[in-house]
Each structure stands twice: as C-alpha cells, then as structure tokens.
A and B are shown apart, each in its own frame.
Chain A
Amino acid sequence: MELLYILIPLIAGIGLSTQSAINGTLGNKIGSLESAFLTFFTGAIILTLIVNFFGQGNILGIVDAPAVQLLAAIFGVIFLSIMPFVAPVIGVTNAMIMVIIGQLLASVAIDHFGLFSSEVIPLDIQKVIGILLLIGAVYFIFKKPGTKEVA
C-alpha cells in the first residue's frame, strides 16, 4: 500500500518531463508561446469538468484571496513559455536538471525568508552542503568531453 502512494508522485514527475518533451516538439511547429497557450487552454477545459464534478472548494473565493497569491498563474505562464523554447536546444535532461536546481534554490530561499506567508525554516549546514552539491552538478553539465558541443 505504501508503494502505491509512492507511485503517485512518480507518475507526476514522469508527466512533467513528458510534457516538456512534447511541448518542445509542438513548439518547434507552432511556436513556444503558442504551445504554452494551448497547454493552458486544453488544461483549463479539462479542469472545468474536473472542478465541476470533484471540486470541494469555492472558486469565487479568489475575490477575497490575497492579491499576491493570484500571481501564481503568472509564474506558471513563465515556466510553460520558457520550456518549449529551451528543451529542444539543450535536451530535456539538461533542461530538467536546470529546472530542478532552480526549484531547489528557490524553495530554500522561500523557506529561509518565509516568503509568501510560508513558515520560516532557516538555512542550516545541511542545506548549504546540498547547495554546494547542486553547484557541483552544474559544473558536470557544462563539462563536455573535449570541445564537442551537443547543440
């Protein structure tokens, strides 16, 4: 049963990488912004149905929600507009490694400063070691055998 729960986030991760690959291919044909638009557009249609049947919250609550939380959508737009442009140039793996490093750095910063009304979780020695390892990972991505450029 435990194992089954682990499969849920695993499929989520597989979905995100697959999406980046597919949107990269689509973006090559119709444009990056156009690909991001279609992703949100078709996603919104699917979610209209899902929210109707399974939604337990109140979508009208956005009127009362703090304005800063409404910026979530803009950052989603930034992610999905950049990826179809980036993935075909440097490959899905390198793009994902950079994305993950960005995610981890940002989440450490958000925790440390308690940004966006999250709980303050200060930087400790473990996290510093983690960040140093990330920098090491970046070094190896850029270190190419010889002078051969993949692109």
Chain B
Amino acid sequence: MKNLPIYMLALIAGISLSIEAALGGALGENIGKLESTYYIFVVGALSLFLGVLFFGKGDLTQVFKVPKWTLTGGALGVIYLSLLIISVTFVGVGLSITVVIIGQLFTSIVVDHFGWLGTKRISIDRNRVIAIGLLLLALVFI
C-alpha cells in the first residue's frame, strides 16, 4: 500500500482527461475540432514552459542526447486526439471511448509484460486479468 498516493495521482490524471475531453469538445463546437486540439497543445506547452522554468527538477538539455524514439510522445498525443475526434463522427462517443479503452488496456498489458519501450517488466497475473475483466464489464454498464 506504500504506492497508494501514486495510484491516487493516476486516478486524478484520469479525471483530468475526462474533464479535458468535455471542455475541449465544447470548445471544438465553437472554434473547430482541430483548432481546439491545437489551442490545448499551445497553451499546454506555454504553461509547462513556465512550470519547467520554475519547478523543473530534471535536465531539459538531455533532450539532445536521449534516443529519438523517446521524443515521439507529442506525435502520439496528436494521433490520439485527432483519431478520437474523427472516430466520434463515425461511430459515436460511446463506442469510440469503449474501443479506445480496449486499445489502451491491450497495449499496456503487452508493453508491461515484455518490458517494451524502456519500461520495467511486469508479467500478467491472475488478479490483473480479473481486474481488467471487471473493468470491461463495468464499461458495458456505464
């Protein structure tokens, strides 16, 4: 249980993601969907620039030395948000979110299990399979 605060942080991250989607979606109705995503990235970059400047404990200059594939997070963020927007217009919000979550879970299990992308290897165990099963069942009800 020593990691409980970390789990709570992850929960807050998820809550933030939903609020971002709700607010960003509403903003998209006003200024356009791609523009809404663009606005989020620009303001995010600017405010985090201040964050790094004042509170950053890392070393940004390492960015020139790390393997290039570790810098693809931004492109993946754009892919995620753009595909989500496109998908909603084709199959609706409910089905989109459900399939996104299935994609999230499947990928994270595989990544953890094999320790891909520089992560620590964490094998699948029975409890996790049960947790994911319950989660998918919850998805059907919500």
Binding site for B on A (CB under 8 A): 5-6, 8-48, 50-51, 54-62, 64-66, 68-83, 85-108, 110, 115-118, 126-127, 129-131, 133-134, 136-138, 140-145, 149-151
Could you list 4 further interchain pairs (A-B, Cβ under 8 angstroms) beyond the known A76-B44, A94-B7? A12-B87, A12-B96, A79-B16, A106-B14
Expressed in whole angstroms, the minimum distance between the Cβ of A43 and any Cβ of chain B is 4
Q: How far is the CA of A56 from the CA of B38 in the complex (A)?
A: 12
Q: How far is the CA of A62 from the CA of B51 in the complex (A)?
A: 23
Q: How far is the CA of A141 from the CA of B1 in the complex (A)?
A: 11
Determine the main DSSP class of A at the interface with B.
Answer: helix
Q: How far is the CA of A45 from the CA of B44 in the complex (A)?
A: 12
Interface bracket on B: 35 or more
- From 114 to 137 in chain B, residues with beta carbon under 8 angstroms from any chain A beta carbon are 116-120, 122, 125-128, 130-132, 134-135, 137
A-B residue pairs in contact (CB < 8 Å), sample of 13: A9-B84, A11-B79, A13-B107, A15-B77, A29-B66, A31-B57, A41-B74, A42-B75, A46-B75, A55-B32, A86-B13, A93-B105, A99-B104
Contact B55 A33 (CB under 8 A): yes
Chain B 31-65 interface 0/1 with A at a Cβ cutoff of 8 Å (1 = within): 11111111111111101110110011111101100
Contacts A44-B45, A90-B10 given: A100-B59 contact, CB under 8 Å? no
Expressed in whole angstroms, the minimum distance between the Cβ of B22 and any Cβ of chain A is 5
Contact A10 B102 (CB under 8 A): yes
Expressed in whole angstroms, the minimum distance between the Cβ of B107 and any Cβ of chain A is 4
Chain B residues in 8 Å Cβ range of A98? 7, 10-11, 13-14
Chain B residues in 8 Å Cβ range of A16? 76, 80, 100, 103-104
